[in-house]
């Protein structure tokens, strides 16, 4: 990732193609598993998809399978699809490298007939081929290779954070049930707290060993978390989207780590033509049930990317306080663009005022924070889209 070509690859090359309006001589649906792939093919028209059989899920077999189908259609580009799942995007990339188009479809958005009670791999592949031909499938966003690498790094950081939290809870539970407790109001996990833990005495030597093992577990989890944080900062230096990270850091409540998590999960935000689309994608819009003259709004849908949604909700808590340009905000916005700084100050003034308005009206605090997070998405989209367009224009010259 140190050369200029890799540096701009995520900006110049979209991670998915606009293939909905194209016509193809054949549509292939694939039901993928760890060991096998079951496939069916549908030709244009209304005919029933043809079952092609089962093959091993390995690159050599897949290449031979794609080449054999391609020969039957004189090498024309075909359209393949499979459901998003634990097998990732390797199949997608391989099919694209062979000169064909591929869709990775959202499983939750595949049409389902209420009376269909039989589910087999063969039927699933035929259903995918038929719906692919009809244009009834919804493609998920496919990250580029650089994007996916950064996302893997941010996600393992989240796993290590969960491990640290769990280890701390287990240690706290252990000392509490044996009659030891840290004074209320004093900071936990400081040097003083750790020293107090190590000096605790128990009646039996086995319990002393348990205490030390719990302390070691917390220490190991914290060390892994800190190491991963360093790797993230190193990865940011050569990331093609680094300028967007710097600009998003100008927003209150969003630091470098939060910005990296958001962008690694969402990628190029210019694929959303309006911030309301991004709000819906993140599941931050209210659910709705409307029938005749009755209209009922419920809790947020929680659809889409839960990692980015959780990070934005966490960031929204910082708008509980009055708007102001603190030294911390100025310091983390040091490398942000002037446009980002201007938008971030507008966001502060509006969102801090909105929080006060909602709380004075008696709104629940958690509901208020989610509403603030939803509006924060609009400012994130504004800054990220502006900086992405600027990067694309620079690379086009």
Q: Which two tokens stand for residue 156?
A: 């393992």
Q: Which two tokens stand for residue 215?
A: 């302390």
Number of DSSP helices (H) and strands (E) in the chain, helices first: 15, 7
* Gap between the Cα atoms of 329 and 249, Å rounded: 8
* Gap between the Cα atoms of 132 and 284, Å rounded: 29
pTM to 2 decimal places: 0.88
Measured CA to CA in angstroms, residue 101 lies from 82, 186, 367 at distances of 12, 59, 43
Question: Residue ranges per domain, the chain?
Answer: 17-134, 145-240, 244-396
Identify the sign of the CA torsion 302, 315, 389, 344.
Answer: positive
The gap from C-alpha 199 to its chain's centroid, in whole angstroms, comes to 43
Query: Given this model, what pLDDT does residue 248 score?
Result: 98
Query: Given this model, what pLDDT does residue 293 score?
Result: 80
Residues 57, 35 contacting (CB under 8 angstroms): yes
CATH number of 17-134: 3.30.420.40
Is residue 64 classed as helix, strand or coil in its secondary structure? helix
Per-residue pLDDT of the chain (397 residues; tens, 9 = 90+): 444 444 444 554 444 446 767 899 999 999 999 999 999 999 999 999 999 999 999 999 999 999 999 999 999 999 999 999 999 999 999 999 999 999 999 999 999 988 888 999 999 999 999 999 999 999 998 988 899 999 999 999 999 999 999 999 999 999 999 999 999 989 999 999 999 999 999 999 999 999 999 999 999 999 999 999 999 999 999 999 999 999 999 999 999 999 999 999 999 999 999 999 999 999 999 988 888 788 887 889 998 899 999 999 999 999 999 999 999 999 999 999 999 999 999 999 999 999 999 999 999 999 999 999 999 999 999 999 999 999 999 888 7
Query: Given this model, what pLDDT does residue 200 score?
Result: 95
Question: Strand 36-42 and strand 50-56: pairing?
Answer: antiparallel
Query: Given this model, what pLDDT does residue 18 score?
Result: 62
Query: Given this model, what pLDDT does residue 54 score?
Result: 97
């Amino acid at each position: 990732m140190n050369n200029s070509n890799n540096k701009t690859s995520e900006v110049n090359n979209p991670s998915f193609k606009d293939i909905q309006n194209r016509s193809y001589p054949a549509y292939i649906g694939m039901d993928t598993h760890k060991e096998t792939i079951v496939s069916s093919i549908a030709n244009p028209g209304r005919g029933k998809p043809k079952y092609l059989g089962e093959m091993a899920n390995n690159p050599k077999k897949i290449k031979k399978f794609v080449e054999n189908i391609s020969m039957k259609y004189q090498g024309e580009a075909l359209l393949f699809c499979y459901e998003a799942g634990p097998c990732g995007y390797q199949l997608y990339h391989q099919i694209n490298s062979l000169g064909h188009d591929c869709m990775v479809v959202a499983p939750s958005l595949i049409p389902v007939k209420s009376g269909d009670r039989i589910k087999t791999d063969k039927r699933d592949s035929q259903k995918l081929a038929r719906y692919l031909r009809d244009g009834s499938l919804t493609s998920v966003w496919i990250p580029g290779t650089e994007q996916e690498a950064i996302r893997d790094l941010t996600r393992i950081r989240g796993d290590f954070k969960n491990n640290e939290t769990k280890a701390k809870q287990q240690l706290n539970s252990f000392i509490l049930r044996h009659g030891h407790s840290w004074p209320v109001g004093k900071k936990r996990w400081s040097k003083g707290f750790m020293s107090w833990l190590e000096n605790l005495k128990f009646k039996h030597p086995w319990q002393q060993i348990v205490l030390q093992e719990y302390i070691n577990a917390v220490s190991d989890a914290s060390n892994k978390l800190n190491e991963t944080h360093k790797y993230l900062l190193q990865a940011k230096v050569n990331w093609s989207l680094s300028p967007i990270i710097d600009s998003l850091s100008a927003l209150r409540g969003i630091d470098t780590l939060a910005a990296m998590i958001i962008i690694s999960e969402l990628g190029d935000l210019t694929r959303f033509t309006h911030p309301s689309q991004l709000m819906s994608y993140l599941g931050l819009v209210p659910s709705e049930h409307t029938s005749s003259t009755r209209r009922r709004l419920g809790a947020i849908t929680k659809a889409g990317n839960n990692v980015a949604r959780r990070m934005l909700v966490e960031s929204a808590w910082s708008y509980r306080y009055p708007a102001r340009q603190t030294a911390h905000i100025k310091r983390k916005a040091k490398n942000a663009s002037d446009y980002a700084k201007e938008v971030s100050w507008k966001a502060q003034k509006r969102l801090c005022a909105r929080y006060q308005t909602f709380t004075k009206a008696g709104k629940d605090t958690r509901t208020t924070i989610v509403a603030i997070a939803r509006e924060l998405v609009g400012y994130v989209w504004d800054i990220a889209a502006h900086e992405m367009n600027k990067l694309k224009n620079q690379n086009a010259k």
